[in-house]
Structure 1
Amino acid sequence: MHAKSEDFPPRIVEHPSDVIVSKGEPTTLNCKAEGRPTPTIEWYKDGERVETDKDDPRSHRMLLPSGSLFFLRIVHGRRSKPDEGSYVCVARNYLGEAVSRNASLEVACK
């Protein structure tokens, strides 16, 4: 498949930033990417792909149309801390991929 002249590889135009959130609160990690064709966005936490509502309708994490990752509520327990960690967003199309800066999500201790 030859690249069309107007097509271009993804680039991140808005990077996520570090957040500190209270347990049970909603938060958003922003990510916007440009590219043609429009890149698909995936999120990775500590190197593992983040499942969102598209993978699991019961997920408390949603991929917004902009590419941002929205948490309905931050899940944080003594044993499991599924939301705390280091996140990156990856934008891909057939011409390549772009990786955002790391953003850490910390849960504030009450």
Structure 2
Amino acid sequence: MSEEKLLTVREVSILLSVSEKEVIDMAENGTIPAYKVGGVYLRFRSDQIQEYRKSLKSHILKKLKEKYPVSDRIRDFFYFNDFYILSAVLIFLLLVIILRG
């Protein structure tokens, strides 16, 4: 039987994109489940960390949708891409004029 490989604090910090100190703090306050090996070293199960990561991602996406309505997203899209849209329309019009003439 193969044993499950437990993740270290460093590996979890990389997976969650947080500092090692934040991982230790989250483990101490029970945000993420952790195991002590020999009473000293923190270890984490991969499936539990992946589950936490998915719940965190869905929570962030939900917050973003609440924070930024669709109308604001559309307005931002045109604000940041107006040059490219205008350039594409201008090139299209010039091609139509050239090909007709």
Same fold (TM over 0.5): no
TM-score, length-scaled by structure 1: 0.24
- Structure ranking higher in strand proportion: 1
**Whose relative contact order is higher, 1 or 2, with alpha carbons under 8 Å and at least 6 apart?**
1
TM-score by length of 2: 0.25
